[in-house]
Amino acid sequence: MLHIYNTLSRAKEPLKTVEPGQVRMYVCGMTVYDFCHLGHARMLVSFDVVQRWLRCSGYQVNYVRNITDIDDKIIRRAVQSGRRMNEVTSFYIDAMHADEQALGVAAPDAEPRATEHVGEMLGIIKLLEDKGLAYQSDDGDVNYAVREFPGYGKLSGKSLDDLRAGERVAVASAKRDPLDFVLWKSAKADEPPESKWDSPYGMGRPGWHIECSAMSKALLDLPLDIHGGGPDLKFPHHENEIAQTEGAFGGSLASIWMHCGPLMVDADKMSKSLGNFRTIRATVAADAGLPDDQARYEANPREAEMLRFFIVRNHYRSPQNYAPDNLLDAQNALDRLYQTLHNVPAEPIEIDWSAPAARAFREAMDDDFNTAGAVAVLFELSTEANRTGSATTAGLLRSLGGVLGLLQADPARYLQSPSRYQRSGSADTVLSGEQIEALIQARADAKQQRNFAEADRIRSELQAAGVELEDKAGGVTQWRRA
């Protein structure tokens, strides 16, 4: 049985869904005012693996991941760039989708936008007001009365006395309590017209937290089986979601809460606010000089799969450190698996989950999506396939890799693709496939003429450029980038 670590109970629990065989999963998505960075990549890939394994385990999954397309940062970006808000958000949504495609992240079953659900948000605010959990302050904002909700703090484990206002919760004198957070923001005169909606509380826009309460209820109903997101959302965002949803409708918002671990850079979390982030596109784009006015791009398939592998080889809840050397290590490790599939062509197979390796893979994934353990199984299969030359073993390696969204490229094409994250070679010596083939032919001609010194020189030139040759029977030479 699948067990998942529940942030709410702080323990692993068996997955027990509201409807047998069906999973309703809601994950908080992006605020689309800038390009996604590698911390976002970790969240996207982690929950993509979750939904893949749930489906592989026989569940019918309804996976919803929202888009925040109304927010202070979006308004600021629109004003600074002289564009309308929907132009800004459409551009960065396209960019996000390009990143997802590069990383092999499947589209969610639904991708609601906050601006499409303002009516539902106002309905929840009215319910909260009627129950004494919301009030309109003198500045026109509608706030949630945190101390009126008895369960506040149960997700984060914080007491009310320890709590501080969250990153997006402004502490204003108009609030009854500095811990109260905004549900509806009164419009300001200098804000663009498209950022304002009419409401019983005057012109304004929704606060950040109310969005997900409305969208999860509208698309999945309550309770959710799984609610997930990045590590920084546990407080205040998810804590506030619980207060809003459970305060308005009673019952439970979600049975299991999942949070992936942070991506660290020198002991600090990667984030835009700290300025220590690296974007997905800068890491995997085939054109490293991609301009900032281009949303969609072509990814380098080898580097894109390397980044996915870099994320998947770690358990989703553990902190993970970003460094160029770690990407290099991930590239080299993934290359070894592809080298196996190149040396031992895989036989297409259907996974027999009773087989020892497949059973070990399943046991790892059923233990809170332990992808680190599952990847260890892949390397054990790689060792066995190299030792025995078994096409069936290689087929199981490829099929189990596919469950994680890995190892589905043609091995020869993959190994011949250039990468900035490789063991040898340098940016100054990257050769095109045509150049490599020409040098291999020149080496063959030199050998035919018994000019072995020239043949050795060409081989050394290719090695210096990070290209390894393998001479096969019949005079055939295969090559790969090292």
List, as residue ranges, the binding site for ATP: 272
Nearest Cα neighbor of 341 from 403, 408, 433 is 408
Q: What is the largest CA-CA distance in the chain?
A: 92
| Tokens 């497949």, residue located | 358
Tell me if 6 sits within 8 A of 256, measured CB to CB: yes
Nearest Cα neighbor of 335 from 308, 311, 302 is 302
Rounded Cα distance between 253 and 96, Å, is 28
What H or E segment, with its residue span, contains residue 393? helix 391-403
- Binding site feature residues for Zn(2+): 28, 212, 237, 241
* Tokens at 59, concatenated: 């569940």
* Tokens at 25, concatenated: 């999963």
* Tokens at 396, concatenated: 């199981």
- Would you call the peptide bond into 108 cis, given omega within 30 degrees of 0 as the criterion? no
The rounded radius of gyration (Å) of the Cα atoms in the chain is 26
Beta strands in 169-295 (DSSP E): 181-186, 204-206, 224-229, 254-259, 263-265, 268-269
Question: Could you give the angle at the alpha carbon of 416 between the alpha carbons of 413 and 418, nearest 5°?
Answer: 120
Cα of first residue to Cα of last residue in the chain, in angstroms, is 41
119: number of Cβ within 10 Å: 11
Beta strands in 15-75 (DSSP E): 22-27, 60-65
- Binding site feature residues: 28, 212, 237, 241, 272
Question: Could you give the angle at the alpha carbon of 28 between the alpha carbons of 157 and 31, nearest 5°?
Answer: 115
DSSP letters along 255-284, please? EEEEEPPPEEETTEE--TTTT---BHHHHH
Rounded Cα distance between 70 and 33, Å, is 9
Which amino acid appears at position 460 of this protein?
S
Rounded Cα distance between 439 and 422, Å, is 21
94, 274, 441 from 413: Cα distances, Å: 28, 39, 19
